[in-house]
């Protein structure tokens, strides 16, 4: 393909038999199966991947581990894909992001020249005055800093979720994770091993542990086969643990599935993130983490450059240099930051290869060549912390590998409650104060040598299995002192008078930006983050947190430990809304008659979680349909599905006593076969629900509750009786019963045809009566109540009989031209009758006196919930009251719920219900008004839609049939 590919055994992820064709910015390329987008481009000598966020600087590979925003590219359906993590697929169309013009010639790159006019906090300082200007600037700023394009025609895929349970979850499958999993599994524990990479092994896949360069491979092979042989280890690769939540609850994303894992013990073997050195032009393509170069070579067989310089602050840099030599890269020099390096075997092996080492020196700046790529480095002696000599040596190279230190992957551990501290000797963050049932091991715990890493992992695994009682062996708290040789150089930061030494690549933040932010007063790292946006980019501080902490500490005369890092919240890695949503679940409740409504042409609405018919007929003729339904009920007969009403059985010797305490009315002397209105208040005296209580027998009441309120009412009843300990049993039977309300002057005529065993006459079965019998051979409870103010029977039958009851009543009413009516008609009918709906005509402050329900309070009872508060409220003057109003002006718009009642320019009340009344021929409604305006005949002013003022007249309730002659016939 190209001469940039290395021969085997380089490229452990590649399948060289399978070629993959793809395009980048319109140009065709070829890679191999197993390549990432970035590795395939690098193999094709395409090192420029993107333009930076603010200055549109050319950017290339930095970490090869998805820890920087340099590699963000646009895929057709996926903006902001990480080119170094995204697997290459055949036919992929990849384009560069954040480009004005072309990736190669981006005219906004000129912004870099003005960077001193774009200081930290620039947007806040420049665009906020005068007031209102910010909104004008936003679209312009967003365009210049755009990140990707959303494909609005994209069809979401099938996402799913799954619960999983393990004794031990090991996050990170490097040498520590693998050793910990094997140790834990040896006790018989069920172990989950998770890694975000395509294969197990972590650094063993790319790092060099010995001079010969084969120790890692041998160990990896053995551990992988041991793990494969363990049936009690489930290994998930390409899987990201995206957070830690209480009681070891781990969201793990793999493919299009989110696993919700509960683990008894969690072992975090999440390793460490390599950090860059900070010097001028440290962002040029060709400057990368040493581990990035190793990943390119070992995983993808890509030769990362032709002539390399290694900037080393530790011995790992020498291992990288050996790797580069093995890959045929010329190593021009090692720039050794340490003045007195302590070499290990690997470093000595490199020294024997004759590479020049510039000890005690730094890369002061990188120099830009053609196409923005690195062409040379300016190497100077370090004279003091962060200061270089005035002159140095220019070394030509197209690759600079930075090996100056690490930060433990702290995010998940800090989410669990772990605390970061900083040790000045090792120049390293460390993690401590771990919560119970949570362990860390390996490099995240400060161990860097393979033998100590493995021993630490086994220690942690034993602690975990001891805790769950798998085996009980004595385990030391630590295996040894953390490794003496820290890989971190304490100050790899070299300011340049012309700047461009990048601390945060995502946000183009330079040393001066961080220092200036502290001088602007944002001297706490949390404040500084918000002000400077440092760490707010896609990489979330992965490569910037350590340098930022060091700079802020130095600038504010604090220690790095005191400075710390900003809070790392979930998610750890970007996740899609699809993952959060999972499969579409919408638990909607249907009554047994649901499909009869649809067959009758109903438009369904959702009342809480129930489907209910709004009205029957086409959407275009809604008002006409509703008026016809109202007319049918007022003049003939209609039927309505009321199955959604709550139903409660209250049984026991204290049943009446219990209702007496729960509801405001009196129930002790309620006769059998009778129904009473039941109004529920809470302890503050606020109306919270209503229904009717039917006395079935001495010790048995059947109580209804509102559709939306029954679950709360039921729970509240149980809670009260947990305290009162009355001899009563309360059962929520809402769904066990289907209900139909048959209403209208001809209701009796229809019902008689199918109800042989109940005498339906007004004398035998008066208003508010309760009977049991059969309707069309279906066992039924029949209640003479009606919300709508006409002769009505409410029939409750077992749920599975619902559809058969509907069929029977429709058939019986055929001759009478019976008509189904929906929620909309019912709202009009009940409003005409002045009946309130709890929750619509009441709010969180409404007491019974305000809604004119003093009649429903039995004041002689020794107690009911809310009784004392109602006594106290009764001592105070009413602040407002619910009144009925009519709008007499036929030209006026109809007020809607929540429209305000005004007196002058003061808000004094609001509308709770308002509808056109076909019966009265004008809009009628309910509104809260202050007392002086509550007298019938008073005019109130309502601010309707679009601010139109509507004058309404207060009238006596109800609007319709004030003497209730119609419902009691």
Partner 1 sequence: MVSASPEHHLRRSQLYRIHQSAGAYFEDQDGTLSVSQYAGNADELGQARRLGLADLSTLSRIGFKGHGAPAWLHTQGVLLPEQPNQTLLQTDGSLLLRLSAQEVLILRALHPASALITQLQNQVSSAAAQHAYVLPRADSHCWLALTGEYAAQTLAKICGVDMRLHKFAQGDVAQTSVARVNAIVTRYALEADTPCFYILCDVSLAEFLWVSLIDTMLEFGGQPIGLATLRQLQPTKPSSPS
Partner 2 sequence: MKLLTCPLNGPRNITEFSYGGEFHHAPDSRTCDTKRWVEYVFFHDNQAGNVLEWWCHTATSYWFLAERNTVTDTVLRTFPASELFKQRVDFATQESSAKNDK
Pairing state of beta strands 191-194 and 233-236? parallel
Under the binding rule (CB under 8 A), the answer on residue 722 touching partner 2 is: yes
Is residue 290 within 8 Å of 401, Cβ to Cβ? Answer: yes
Q: Angle at CA 504, nearest 5°, toward 499 and 509? A: 40
Phi, psi of 295 (to 5 degrees): -65, -45
* Residue 165 within binding range of partner 2, rule CB under 8 A: no
Which CB sits closer to partner 1, 564 or 691?
691
Least gap, CB of 585 to partner 1 (angstroms): 5
The item of partner 1, partner 2, none sharing an interface with residue 733, based on CB under 5 to 8 Å by kind, is: partner 1
Among positions 869, 874, 900, 961, the unique one binding partner 2 when judged by CB under 8 A:
869
Cα–Cα dist 487/273, whole Å: 12
Sort strands 257-268 and 160-171 into parallel, antiparallel or unpaired.
parallel
Could you tell which of partner 1, partner 2, none binds residue 636, using a CB distance below 5 to 8 A set by kind? none
Q: Residue 391: which of partner 2, partner 1, none does it interact with, CB under 5 to 8 A by kind?
A: none
- Rounded to whole angstroms, the Cα distance separating 42 from 302 reads 7
Closer Cβ to partner 1, 19 or 653, answer by number: 653
Q: Residue 777 binds which one of partner 2, partner 1, none, with CB within 5 to 8 A depending on kind?
A: partner 1
Is 863 near partner 2 (CB under 8 A)? Answer: yes
Asked if 187 and 256 touch (Cβ cutoff 8 Å), the reply is: no
The distance of closest approach from Cβ of residue 815 to partner 2 in the complex, given in angstroms and rounded to an integer, is 45
Dihedral, 347, 350, 351, 353 alpha carbons, nearest 10: 170
Report, in this order, helix, strand and coil percent for the chain, each rounded to 5.
25, 30, 45
- Residue among 847 and 912 whose Cβ is closer to partner 2: 847
Contact status, residue 142 vs residue 422, Cβ threshold 8 Å: no
Written as six digits, the tokens of 168 are 């031990």
Contact 502, 58 (CB under 8 A): no
The correct pick among 643, 732, 734, 913 for binding partner 2 (CB under 8 A) is 732
**Residue 64 near residue 290, CB atoms below 8 Å:** no
Smallest distance from the beta carbon of 897 to partner 2, in angstroms? 28
Which of 107, 245 has the CB closer to partner 2?
A: 245
Partner from partner 1, partner 2, none contacting 855, C-beta within 5 to 8 A by type: none
Cα dihedral 209, 212, 214, 215 in deg (nearest 10): -40
- How far apart are the C-alpha atoms of 745 and 757, rounded to whole Å? 21
Residue 458 contact among partner 1, partner 2, none, beta carbon within 5 to 8 Å by kind: none
User: Strand, helix or coil at 838?
Assistant: coil
Q: Where are the alpha helices (DSSP H) in 544-677?
A: 545-556, 560-563, 577-581, 594-599, 622-635, 655-662
The answer to whether 491 touches 549, Cβ cutoff 8 Å, is no
Are 108 and 102 contacting, i.e. CB atoms less than 8 angstroms apart?
Answer: no
Place of tokens 């470093």: 347
Is residue 245 near partner 2 by the rule CB under 8 A? yes
Q: Does 862 bind partner 2 (CB under 8 A)?
A: yes
Binding of residue 579 to partner 2 (CB under 8 A): no
Shortest approach of partner 2 to residue 487 CB, angstroms? 36
# binding residues, partner 2 (CB under 8 A):
26
Q: Determine, following the binding rule CB under 8 A, whether residue 891 of this chain makes contact with partner 2.
A: no
Assess 872 for contact with partner 2 (CB under 8 A).
Answer: yes
Which DSSP letter does residue 664 get? S
Give whichever of 733 and 941 is closer to partner 1, judged by the CB atom.
Answer: 733
Q: Which of residues 665-684 bind partner 2 (CB under 8 A)?
A: 683-684
Residue 718 interacts, among partner 1, partner 2, none and using kind-specific CB cut-offs from 5 to 8 Å, with partner 2
Q: Exactly one of 24, 667, 714, 959 binds partner 2 (CB under 8 A); which one?
A: 714
Helix (H, G, I), strand (E, B) or coil at 812: helix
From the list 137, 249, 595, 855, which residue makes contact with partner 2 (rule: CB under 8 A)? 249
Scanning 145-153, 625-633, 721-729, 771-779 for contacts with partner 2 by CB under 8 A, the matching segment is 721-729
Asked if 454 contacts 175 with a C-beta cutoff of 8 angstroms, the reply is yes
How many Å separate Cα 397 from the centre of its chain?
46
Contact positions toward partner 1, by CB under 8 A? 160-165, 260, 262, 583, 585-592, 594-595, 610, 643, 649, 651-652, 699-700, 727, 729, 731, 733-737, 776-778, 798-801, 803-804, 807
Q: What does 719 bind: partner 1, partner 2, none (CB cut-off 5 to 8 Å by kind)? A: partner 2
Closest CA to 164 of 229, 241, 230: 241
By CB under 8 A, is residue 941 in contact with partner 2? Answer: no
Residues from 207 through 236 that contact partner 2 (CB under 8 A): none
Closest contact distance (angstroms) between CB of 683 and partner 2 is: 5
Residue 480 interacting partner from partner 1, partner 2, none (CB closer than 5 to 8 Å by kind): none
Per CB under 8 A, the segment of 452-460, 722-730, 747-755, 802-810 that binds partner 2 is 722-730
Longest Cα–Cα distance of the chain, Å, equals 115
Q: Which member of 137, 595, 724, 855 binds partner 2 (CB under 8 A)?
A: 724
Within 200-329, strands assigned E span: 233-236, 239-241, 249-254, 257-268, 272-274, 287-289, 307-312
Q: Which does 164 bind (CB under 5 to 8 A by kind): partner 2, partner 1, none?
A: partner 1
Is the Cβ–Cβ distance between 767 and 786 less than 8 Å?
A: no
Minimum CB separation of residue 483 from partner 1 in Å reads 40
- Tokens describing residue 688: 């919270």
Q: Is 726 in the site for partner 2 (CB under 8 A)?
A: yes
Q: Which residues bind partner 2 (CB under 8 A)?
A: 245-247, 249, 260, 262, 661, 683-684, 714-715, 718-719, 722-727, 732, 862-863, 867-869, 872
């Amino acid at each position: 393909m190209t001469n940039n590919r290395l021969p085997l055994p380089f490229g452990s992820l590649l399948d060289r038999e399978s070629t993959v064709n793809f395009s980048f910015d319109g140009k065709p390329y070829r890679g191999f199966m197993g390549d990432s987008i970035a590795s395939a481009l690098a193999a094709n000598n395409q090192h420029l991947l993107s333009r930076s966020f603010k200055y549109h600087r050319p950017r290339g590979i930095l970490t090869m581990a998805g820890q920087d925003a340099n590699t963000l590219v646009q895929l057709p359906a996926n903006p902001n894909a990480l080119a170094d993590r995204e697997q290459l697929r055949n036919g992929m169309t990849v384009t560069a992001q954040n480009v004005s013009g072309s990736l190669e010639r981006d005219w906004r790159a000129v912004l870099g020249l003005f960077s001193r006019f774009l200081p930290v906090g620039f947007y806040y300082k420049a665009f906020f005055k005068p007031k209102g200007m910010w909104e004008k600037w936003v679209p312009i700023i967003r365009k210049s800093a755009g990140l990707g394009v959303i494909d609005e025609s994209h069809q979401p895929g099938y996402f799913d979720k799954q619960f999983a349970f393990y004794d031990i979850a090991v996050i990170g499958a490097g040498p520590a994770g693998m050793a910990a999993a094997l140790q834990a599994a040896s006790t018989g524990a069920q172990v989950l091993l998770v890694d975000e990479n395509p294969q197990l092994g972590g650094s063993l896949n790319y790092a060099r542990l010995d001079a010969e360069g084969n120790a890692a491979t041998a160990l990896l092979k053995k551990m992988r086969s041991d793990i494969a042989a363990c049936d009690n280890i489930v290994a998930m690769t390409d899987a990201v643990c995206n957070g830690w939540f209480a009681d070891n609850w781990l969201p793990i994303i793999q493919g299009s599935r989110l696993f919700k894992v509960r683990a008894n013990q969690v072992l975090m073997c999440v390793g460490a993130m390599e950090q860059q050195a900070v010097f001028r032009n440290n962002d040029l393509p060709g400057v990368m983490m040493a581990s990035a170069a190793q990943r390119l070579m070992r995983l993808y067989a890509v030769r990362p450059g032709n002539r390399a310089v290694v900037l080393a602050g530790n011995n790992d840099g020498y291992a990288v240099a050996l790797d580069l030599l093995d890959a045929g890269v010329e190593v021009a020099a090692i720039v050794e930051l340490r003045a007195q390096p302590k070499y290990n075997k690997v470093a000595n092996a490199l020294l024997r290869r004759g590479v020049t080492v510039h000890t005690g020196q730094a890369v002061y700046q990188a120099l830009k060549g053609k196409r923005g790529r690195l062409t040379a480095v300016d190497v100077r002696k370090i004279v003091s912390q962060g200061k270089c000599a005035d002159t140095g040596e220019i070394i030509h190279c197209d690759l600079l590998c930075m090996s100056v230190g690490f930060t433990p992957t702290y995010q998940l551990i800090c989410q669990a409650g772990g605390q970061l501290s900083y040790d000045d000797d090792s120049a390293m963050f460390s993690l401590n104060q771990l919560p119970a049932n949570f362990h860390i091991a390996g490099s995240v715990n400060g161990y860097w040598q393979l033998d100590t890493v493995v021993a630490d992992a086994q220690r942690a695994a034993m602690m975990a299995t001891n805790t769950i009682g798998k085996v009980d062996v004595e385990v030391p708290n630590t295996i040894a002192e953390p490794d003496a040789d820290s890989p971190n150089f304490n100050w790899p930061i070299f300011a340049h008078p012309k700047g461009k030494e990048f601390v945060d690549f995502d946000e183009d933040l330079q040393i001066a930006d961080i220092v200036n932010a502290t001088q602007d007063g944002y001297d706490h790292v949390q404040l500084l983050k918000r002000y400077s946006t440092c760490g707010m980019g896609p990489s979330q501080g992965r490569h910037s947190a350590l340098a930022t902490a060091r700079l802020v500490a130095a600038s504010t005369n604090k220690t790095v430990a005191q400075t710390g890092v900003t809070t790392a919240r979930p998610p750890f890695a970007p996740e899609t809304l699809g993952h959060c949503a999972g499969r579409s679940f919408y638990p909607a409740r249907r009554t047994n008659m649901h499909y009869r409504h649809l067959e009758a042409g109903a438009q369904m609405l959702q009342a809480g979680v129930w489907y209910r018919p709004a009205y029957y007929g086409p959407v275009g003729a809604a008002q006409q349909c509703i008026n016809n339904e109202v007319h049918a009920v007022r003049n003939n007969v209609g039927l309505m599905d009321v199955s959604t009403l709550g139903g409660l059985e209250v049984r026991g010797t204290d049943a009446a006593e219990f209702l007496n305490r729960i509801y405001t009315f009196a129930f002790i002397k309620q006769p059998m076969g009778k129904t009473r209105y039941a109004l529920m208040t809470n302890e503050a005296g606020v109306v919270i629900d209503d229904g009717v209580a039917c006395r079935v027998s001495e010790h048995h009441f059947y109580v209804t509750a509102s559709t939306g309120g029954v679950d709360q009412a039921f729970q509240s009843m149980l809670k009260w009786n947990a305290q009162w300990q009355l001899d009563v049993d309360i059962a929520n039977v809402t769904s066990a019963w289907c209900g139909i309300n048959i209403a209208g002057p001809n209701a009796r005529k229809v019902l008689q045809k199918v109800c042989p065993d109940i005498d339906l006459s007004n004398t035998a079965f008066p208003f508010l009566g309760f009977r049991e019998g059969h309707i069309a051979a279906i066992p039924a409870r029949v209640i003479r109540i009606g919300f709508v103010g006409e002769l009505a029977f409410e029939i409750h039958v077992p749920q599975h009989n619902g559809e058969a009851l509907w069929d029977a009543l429709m058939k019986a009413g055929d001759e009478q031209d019976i008509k189904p009516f929906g929620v909309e008609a019912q709202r009009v009918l009940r409003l005409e009758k002045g009946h309130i709906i709890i929750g619509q005509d009441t709010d969180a402050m409404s007491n019974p006196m305000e809604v004119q329900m003093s009649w429903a309070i039995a004041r002689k009872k020794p107690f009911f919930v809310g009784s004392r508060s109602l006594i106290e409220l009764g001592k105070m003057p009413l602040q407002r009251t619910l009144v009925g109003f009519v709008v007499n002006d036929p030209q006026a718009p109809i007020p809607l719920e929540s429209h305000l009642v005004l007196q002058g320019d003061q808000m004094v009340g609001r509308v709770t219900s308002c509808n056109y009344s076909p019966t009265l021929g004008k809009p009628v409604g309910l509104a809260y008004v202050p007392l002086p305006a509550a007298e019938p005949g008073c005019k109130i002013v309502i601010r309707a839609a679009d601010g139109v003022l509507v004058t309404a007249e207060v009238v006596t309730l109800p609007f319709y049939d004030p003497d209730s002659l119609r419902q009691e016939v």
